[in-house]
Structure formats: structure tokens, C-alpha cells
């Protein structure tokens, strides 16, 4: 991730500001406020603003006048209870706003979560940077045979080199053609004074999906936790998962009590179907349950065994 001197100066100026407030603040999050957290080769996330703290969740749940209860242990117990029993509205009282730089194909997957306020960089108005995502060699997975959305074994040797070369060459060529059609470079300088150039809203369609875009993304805590439970999961696509992992780290700085409950009940927890619960009970009673006697499909059985750390 590279920042221009102007971008670094802007961030430093924001971080140098100090404002007196009566609002609740999260000291650990204040320490990383505005600072970019690198993700992938050119991407980042950074926290721009936030509202509320752990005590705000407790305050909303009890509809109290003060900041939660007198004992942090009591607050932690209530937050864990709320999360465990899916009481969602107290978590909607906290909000956070991120600035995210990400590949376009990741953004198109991310935008399926329609519970945030989003404002994306406009390629109708501005020229996108000559930056594009190229995976690390250890991320060049083959198509999984068991999961149409997943990856299998990693490509190696000449085939991996060939794929990486194609990705770089295609992105470079398409971006060069993008500039030619615009008759402008990324700094807005004319390439040929005798040509008008194509409109930006049309020229952008030539860019590859690994080109980078940016947006501001504001979301309440309840919907953020839902997003993170899906995208910070080991089964999520790597390129969106690394963004979610970085956001989980900001959650730890922002709401340490909620973070602990989230890790315990969402990330580290397990939701069982009625059939799955019945199988676990039978196993606890000493019965040797198989897929054939479980009343579960092969896929359900495989997923349950994987969750329990057993051979399918």
C-alpha cells in the first residue's frame, strides 16, 4: 500500500487534531483513527468516525440515563447475553465509518451486504489510479471440485507464472488503453492536444475487475457483526476475508467487551440444526452414529463433522 505525500500529510493533519467532547470515546480506537491498515497489495481500511462504546449498548438495553452499570463485569455479562440470545437493537445504537480501498471484484461481492451507507469513488468524475490486485502465488488456487465457490490445490511452476503474467499484462494493457481513450493520464494531463478523448463514464468500462476502487462505508454494529461473522469466516473468499479480519481488529480496539462476546459466540461458536443437535445428543449417549443413520444429507453430515473436528 503506497500513499502519496499529499495523502500522508492529510492523514497526519487529521490525527493531530484534538477535540474536547462529552461523547463517549474509545481510547484504543482513537489511537488508530484515520490511520490506514494495509490490506492486499494496494488496499487498506481506515476508521474515519464512530459513535458509541460498550456502555452505550448496555445503556440502550436498559434504557438508562447513565453509562451502563457500575461494574464492568455486569456489563460484560449483559452484552454476552444480548449477543447469545440475538437481541439485536441495542447493538444498532453504535455505528462506525470506514474508508476502504479494494479491488472492484471484491467490492461487487461486498456490496451484496445491503445494510450499510456507501459512497464510492466516481470513475465518471475522476480517473482511477494505475493500481490493480495481483494475488500472491500461494493464493492461485484451482477450482474446487466439491465447492463451486471455492478453491482447491495451489497452482505451481510454469502454470502459476503464466497466470500471474496474464493478470499483470491484461491489467496494464487495459489501463493503458483506458488512458488512450480518455486522452488523459491519471494526473489529468492531456496525452494529445489534438484529440478530445472519450467520456470517463464510457472509458472506465475497459478496466479489469482487479483495478482498485474506494468507498466510505458506514454501518451500525449489529449489521457489522453479521458482516464479520460471514466474511471473517475461514470459508469466505480470501480477498474479502483479509479486509474483514482487519475490521475485526478495529472492533477489538473500539468495543473490547463486545469483541470478546463476538469471538466467543459468533466466530468461535457453532449453530446446530435440529438434526445436528439430535446427532450430537446420540453421540454423547455413546451411540456410533453414521451419515446413513443420521437422517442428514452427505453435505450436512460432512459440514457437521468438520465443525466437530471429526472425520466425515
Q: Active-site positions?
A: 231
Residue 254 neighbours by CB under 8 Å, 6+ apart: 26, 28, 29, 47, 50, 53, 96
Interior/surface letters 41-52, b for 16+ CB within 10 angstroms, e for the rest = bbbbbbbbebeb
Give CA–CA dist 173/125, Å, rounded.
Answer: 22
Amino acid at each position: 500500500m503506497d500513499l502519496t505525500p499529499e495523502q500522508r500529510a492529510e492523514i497526519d493533519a487529521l490525527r493531530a487534531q484534538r477535540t474536547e467532547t462529552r461523547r463517549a470515546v474509545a481510547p484504543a480506537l482513537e489511537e488508530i483513527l484515520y490511520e490506514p491498515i494495509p490490506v492486499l497489495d494496494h488496499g487498506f481500511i481506515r476508521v474515519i468516525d464512530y459513535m458509541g462504546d460498550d456502555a452505550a449498548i448496555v445503556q440502550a438495553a436498559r434504557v438508562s440515563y447513565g453509562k451502563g452499570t457500575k461494574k464492568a463485569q455486569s456489563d460484560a455479562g449483559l452484552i454476552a447475553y444480548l449477543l447469545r440470545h440475538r437481541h439485536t437493537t441495542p447493538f444498532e445504537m453504535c455505528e462506525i465509518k470506514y474508508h476502504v480501498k479494494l479491488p472492484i471484484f471484491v467490492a461487487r461481492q461486498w456490496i451484496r451486504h445491503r445494510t450499510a451507507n456507501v459512497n464510492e469513488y466516481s470513475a465518471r468524475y475522476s480517473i482511477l489510479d494505475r493500481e490493480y490486485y495481483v494475488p500472491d502465488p500461494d493464493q492461485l488456487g484451482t477450482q474446487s471440485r466439491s465447492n463451486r465457490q471455492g478453491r482447491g490445490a495451489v497452482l505451481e511452476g510454469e502454470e502459476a507464472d503464466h497466470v500471474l503474467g496474464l493478470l499483470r499484462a491484461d491489467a496494464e494493457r487495459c489501463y493503458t488503453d483506458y488512458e488512450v481513450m480518455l486522452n488523459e493520464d491519471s494526473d489529468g494531463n492531456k496525452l494529445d492536444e489534438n484529440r478530445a478523448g472519450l467520456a470517463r463514464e464510457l472509458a472506465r468500462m475497459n478496466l479489469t475487475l482487479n483495478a482498485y476502487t474506494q468507498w466510505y462505508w458506514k454501518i451500525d454494529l449489529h449489521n457489522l457483526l453479521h458482516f464479520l461473522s460471514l466474511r471473517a469466516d475461514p470459508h469466505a473468499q480470501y480477498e474479502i476475508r483479509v479486509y474483514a479480519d482487519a475490521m475485526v481488529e478495529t472492533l477489538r480496539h473500539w468495543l473490547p467487551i463486545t469483541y470478546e462476546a463476538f469471538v466467543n459466540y459468533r466466530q468461535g461458536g457453532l449453530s446446530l440444526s435440529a438434526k445436528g443437535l439430535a446427532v450430537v445428543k446420540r453421540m454423547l449417549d455413546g451411540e456410533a452414529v453414521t451419515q446413513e443413520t443420521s437422517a442428514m444429507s452427505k453435505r450436512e453430515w460432512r459440514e457437521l463433522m468438520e465443525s466437530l473436528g471429526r472425520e466425515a
